[in-house]
Structure 1
Amino acid sequence: MMLFFIPWDIVFTANGYWGFNPDYLTGIYLVNLPIEEWMFFVCIPYACIFTHYALLHYFPNWKLSENLTSAITFILIALFFLLIVLFYDRWYPVINFGYAVLLLLLVLHYRKDLLQQFYLTFLVMLIPFFIVNGILTGSFIEEQVVWYDNTQNMGIRMVTIPLEDSVYAMTMILTPLVLLEYFDSKFSKSTSKLSKS
């Protein structure tokens, strides 16, 4: 996940599409990104994937039907594509929604069962997302920790959170989850072959 999101973050920060308030930082930077941002990409996806599997442990039959999952996915893809067209001159929606479209198409084709569960667990994860991201973007504190150039996003905020951030969160969690499931299945198959031989 970091192979894609870290370069994206570095480019957007370098171009001023978003940035970080130094008053909240240690001052340690790695490739133009605060060390706190690097840690964000370690801690948050791990916590979210842990939450996904914990929820499925307690609610093992918690999933949407195949038809509803397909319908939700196609609606999201159509909506993201429309927003790309409408905001074609703004980098955050174009990159963010473009990646979401590609990821959803791939997962729908190869692992629809994962989406059947993920849509439900992601709804639960949106609760801490709104709290934490709300604080980072200026809710409940004097100054925002993360700022955005509104000329490079849609300019639509959920209180203080740019709308694009919710889709960013979805792909940031779904990407490592898909990779984890993929490598886990590969490992299980190879282990099964070794045990049979």
Structure 2
Amino acid sequence: MRFIKHWKAVLLSLTIVATVFLIWDAIFTKNGVWGFNPDYHLPFLLLGMPIEEWLFFFCIPYASIFIHYSLEYFKPNLLITEKNTKFITLALIAIVAPVLVLNWGKAYTTVNYSFLIGILLIGFLYGIEYLRRFYIAFLIILIPFFIVNGVLTGTGIEEPVVWYNNDENLSIRLVTIPIEDIGYAFTMLFGNVFLIEKFKK
């Protein structure tokens, strides 16, 4: 694969996306939309967030996009047709949009789904070729996502590492994971893939 040859594009993309999400994260942490259990992290805080949270936005996206590009390398013909990719993208927007409108004002749902619709529109207009593979890769990424995020939100441990204020989300959990986290992950990861592809060119 020699994925390392794209290190400039990857590092620049990770930095840009991480900056956006860290600003979002810091505001939400300050306003009690979510928080971190001090029993599970080091005592070093920056903008109210543990150092592990800062590293999250580099380590997790890197590992996830590596899965995406591994799929591209080992299964180059594993793609959704352009027609179906457009249909899936529009269908996702059609599902998310009314949920966003009906729950406007709940901080996590509002910001998360606004960003999700935004990245889906960008993908539809400028990145259909990337989405053709990414939808498949994302389904694979969801396997480790549910394991890791499940533990972080309290599955199998006495208290969650990350807690959520249910007044600011849909209060729908997949075991212990807020359903919005799937959209959060999609936006963060496809945002990285989209930028990497642009920077590679």
| 2:153 counterpart of 1:137 | yes
Provide the residue aligned with 2:19 in structure 1.
3
Provide the residue aligned with 1:24 in structure 2.
40
Residue 64 of structure 1: SS of its match in structure 2?
coil
Paired AA for residue 106 in structure 1: I
Provide the residue aligned with 2:175 in structure 1.
159
| Cα displacement string for residues 143-175 of structure 1 (whole angstroms, at most 9, x for unaligned residues) | 100000000000000000000001101111011
Paired AA for residue 94 in structure 1: T
TM-score scaled to structure 1, two decimals?
Answer: 0.92
Counterparts of 2:102 and 2:48, CA distance in 1 = 31
Paired AA for residue 72 in structure 2: L
Matches within 5 A, 1:85-124: 85-124=101-140
CA drift at 1:4: 1.0
The structure, 1 or 2, with the larger RCO (C-alpha pairs under 8 Å, 6+ apart) is 2
Provide the residue aligned with 1:194 in structure 2.
none
Q: Where do 4+ consecutive residues of structure 1 move more than 3 Å? A: none
Provide the residue aligned with 1:74 in structure 2.
90
Matches within 5 A, 1:47-62: 47-62=63-78
| 2:193 counterpart of 1:177 | yes
| Cα displacement string for residues 100-122 of structure 1 (whole angstroms, at most 9, x for unaligned residues) | 11111111111201000000000
| 2:79 counterpart of 1:63 | yes
| Cα displacement string for residues 24-72 of structure 1 (whole angstroms, at most 9, x for unaligned residues) | 0111111211100001011000001111101111111011011110111
Residue 19 of structure 1: SS of its match in structure 2?
strand
Residue 16 of structure 1: SS of its match in structure 2?
coil
CA drift at 1:89: 2.1
Paired AA for residue 24 in structure 1: Y
Unaligned runs of 5+ in 2: 1-16
Structure with higher Rg: it is 1
Counterparts of 1:115 and 1:177, CA distance in 2 = 9
CA drift at 1:76: 0.7
Counterparts of 1:36 and 1:3, CA distance in 2 = 15
| Cα displacement string for residues 77-124 of structure 1 (whole angstroms, at most 9, x for unaligned residues) | 111111111111201111101111111111111120100000000000
Greater Cα shift, 83-92 or 120-129: 83-92
Counterparts of 1:93 and 1:76, CA distance in 2 = 15
RMSD: 0.7
Paired AA for residue 2 in structure 1: A
**Matched pairs, number:** 185
| 2:163 counterpart of 1:147 | yes
| 2:99 counterpart of 1:83 | yes
CA drift at 1:176: 1.1
TM-score scaled to structure 2, two decimals?
Answer: 0.91
Provide the residue aligned with 1:43 in structure 2.
59
